[in-house]
Amino acid sequence: MNTNQSQAPFQVRVVPVTPLQQNCSIIRAPSGKAAVVDPGGEADKILKAAEEFGATIEQIWLTHGHLDHAGGAEAIKRATGAPIIGPEKEDTFWLEAIAGQWAQYGHPGMGEDCAPDQWLNDGDTLTLDRIEFGVITTPGHTPGHVVIYHEGANLAFVGDVLFSGSIGRTDFPRGDHATLIASITQKLWPLGDLQFVPGHGPTSTFGKERQSNPFVADHITGYQGAEQKPANEIDQKLSKRWQ
Ligand SMILES: [Zn+2]
């Protein structure tokens, strides 16, 4: 994906990883300095994609503690020296269960438990090579889930909060459906009509989901009120998913 260059001083490449095809994103500043969002596993594949992208991974950002989002974080850290930042500390119990969960899902060794260097809180700012990203807490799928966004680029990395045409599961321990709906309508929608990279599947925009998502369309939630900022158009050539 290539966001509008006049507004977004970075490029994004999406690398689906693990048998769950989780969308790991590499955010590359013009200098080549990069952050990787949710390296869920297959660290070698992520490192190879980063190298071909001309990206030097300096930070690892996690939206939440699930195995397919955080299972490769420690391996990327060992390979690059980059610190692991996020999610919010309520996801500790998930981060400490990653290796066991992968074994339970029939893929022992796919990922390892993770100990972040820094937790994130609502309203925090992440800085990549002087480019600032906002952080909001969005519980519901997991209690410590965060969303990372860039205002000028109208782009958000939403993990498993929201998908194109769906929302995150809430049947896991400490998941809560009403809390997730509130996170989406009260935390995401007020950001405007952002384009978003979900944890799985294709990208979409908040505006499109507010029209047609069967769980959180405005006519279902009764939401009315977010400012309407236009989402950037996705560059079709560069949005081609990295395989
Ligand atoms: Zn998840």
At residue 168, the pLDDT reads 97
Mean pLDDT throughout 234-240? 36
Gap from CA of 147 to ligand 1 centroid (Å) = 12
* pTM across the whole model: 0.91
At residue 3, the pLDDT reads 53
At residue 231, the pLDDT reads 55
Q: Which of 127-141, 154-168, 183-197, 215-229 has the lowest mean pLDDT?
A: 215-229
Gap from CA of 31 to ligand 1 centroid (Å) = 31
Report the C-alpha dihedral over residues 50, 52, 54, 58, rounded to 10 degrees: 10
Over residues 41-55, the pLDDT tens digits come to 999 999 999 999 999
Tokens found for residue 28: 């590359």
Gap from CA of 64 to ligand 1 centroid (Å) = 7
pLDDT at 240 over 80: no
User: Distance (Å, rounded) from C-alpha 149 to C-alpha 39?
Assistant: 17
At residue 225, the pLDDT reads 72
Task: Answer yes or no: are the C-beta atoms of 126 and 59 closer than 8 Å.
Answer: yes
Q: State how beta strands 125-128 and 33-37 pair.
A: unpaired
Gap from CA of 212 to ligand 1 centroid (Å) = 22
Name the percent of the chain in helix, strand, coil, to the closest 5.
25, 25, 50
Gap from CA of 63 to ligand 1 centroid (Å) = 9
Q: What is the CATH number of domain 11-221?
A: 3.60.15.10
In the structure, what pLDDT confidence band is assigned to residue 142 with cuts at 50, 70 and 90? very high
Average pLDDT score over the chain: 91
Gap from CA of 66 to ligand 1 centroid (Å) = 5
pLDDT at 4 over 80: no
At residue 180, the pLDDT reads 98
At residue 226, the pLDDT reads 53
Stronger pLDDT, 17 or 237, i.e. the higher one? 17
Residues with CB under 5 A from ligand 1 (ion): 66, 160
Over residues 66-98, the pLDDT tens digits come to 999 999 999 999 999 999 999 999 999 999 999
Gap from CA of 70 to ligand 1 centroid (Å) = 10
Gap from CA of 58 to ligand 1 centroid (Å) = 24
Gap from CA of 142 to ligand 1 centroid (Å) = 7
Gap from CA of 69 to ligand 1 centroid (Å) = 7
pLDDT at 131 over 50: yes
